[in-house]
Homo-oligomer: A and B are copies of this chain.
Amino acid sequence: MTAEHTAEWVERAIAQAEPGSAHPSRELQVLERIERARRRKPKVREELITLAHGAGGKATRTLVEAVFLEAFRNPVLESLDDGAALDVNGSRMVFTTDSFVVSPLFFPGGDIGDLAVNGTVNDLAVCGARPLYLSAAFILEEGFPVADLRRITDSMAAAAARAGVHVVTGDTKVVQRGKGDGCYVTTAGVGVLDRKITLGPSTVRPGDAVIVSGPIGEHGITIMIARGELDIAADVTSDTASIHDLVATLLDTAPVRMLRDATRGGVATVLNEIAEAAQLAIMVDEPAIPIRPVVNGACELLGLDPLYVACEGRFVAVVDGAHAEAAVDALRRHPLGEAAAIVGTVEADPAGLVLLKTVFGGTRIVDVLVGDPLPRIC
């Protein structure tokens, strides 16, 4: 629902309320609160960009809303989806982009190359599109080994072949030593919307189920360990993968309300975005969250909550509750979805919040990510 729709809804609700009523209905109060929040212009308090602005959490969100949305305001961008759904000469397509600045460039399970291909393919997939074409723009630092560049492009080509997409256009820029970090890659992607479905927060309903497609946090922990700054070793590899085929399996099986890939900010950030946009609550069942013991252990050592650690080959889906079991069964038969699980449900209240029922029987609020525990993980 766009801000405009909400405004109309509020006005209608106000018109329908009893005149002179001292106690407007609770629903009305909630709506007014939403509308006030929407009218309140977000402000970037910092004068200088910090690493948190790139972490995908609260600071990123504020920067995007206060700077980018303010400047480029248009209905497609305002949906703040993983990609933009467009109409080109009568064809419905999706267009998306991501820059990749991961450090190190090479890590167990992948490198910046396949990450850049998979990340853009996945952004198209979670918008319900069939990925078709990618662009690839490179910002290279003077002195970067050509052999490393070749390794990256080979890995991109392999990832593109696996995903069935073609890299059709590109660009190369070189910056002086000390003005980059070896290699940054920006991919953009174009896909088509073959399916006649509407995905988005306005379709989410109480009673819907929340599914996570596989074990969480593996990419983020892999990168942390690969940096070699920590005195821990763990047998964990990045989950980087193109999930468009797994997404197609889900869309073939169940009525899907909304999809997001859980990258920067992890599953917790995605859940918060969904709860806030839908103005519904998400109750998460902690023991149900798929997570490998090695990732759990590493998170404990590092003092990290795995819910905030990035994945690069997992999605969060909200599906019709009545079809959730069948959906998970279907996902589990796919090599990338073997550990898929229903991790929570959508409820009416408290609107906009994500609550976690912990292993110990308690309940706590899962807030959006503040700060940046893991800079440059993608």
Residues of A near any B CB (own CB < 8 A): 44, 46-55, 60, 63-64, 67-68, 70-72, 74, 76-77, 83-84, 86, 88-91, 93, 95-101, 132-133, 135-147, 149-150, 153-154, 156-157, 160, 166-176, 178-181, 184, 186, 188, 190, 192, 375-376
Q: Is the CB of B172 within 8 A of A181?
A: no
Q: Is the CB of A175 within 8 A of B101?
A: yes
Q: Is the CB of B91 within 8 A of A89?
A: yes
A261 → chain B, closest Cβ, in Å?
13
Q: Is the CB of A139 within 8 A of B184?
A: yes
Q: Bound state CA distance, A53 and B141, in angstroms?
A: 10
Query: Which chain B residues border A64 with CB–CB below 8 Å?
Result: 170, 172
A374 → chain B, closest Cβ, in Å?
12
Rank and list the top 7 A-B pairs by shortest CB-CB distance, nearest first.
A54-B174, A188-B188, A71-B153, A97-B135, A84-B168, A186-B186, A89-B91
**Cβ-neighbour of A190 out of B55, B95, B137, B179 (below 8 A):** B95
Q: Bound state CA distance, A46 and B181, in angstroms?
A: 19
Q: Is the CB of A376 within 8 A of B175?
A: yes
Q: Is the CB of B98 within 8 A of A171?
A: yes
Q: Is the CB of A140 within 8 A of B90?
A: no
Q: Is the CB of A97 within 8 A of B169?
A: yes
Q: Bound state CA distance, A76 and B176, in angstroms?
A: 31
Query: Which chain B residues border A132 with CB–CB below 8 Å?
Result: 86, 88
Known: A172-B60, A192-B88. A98 touches B180 (CB 8 A): no
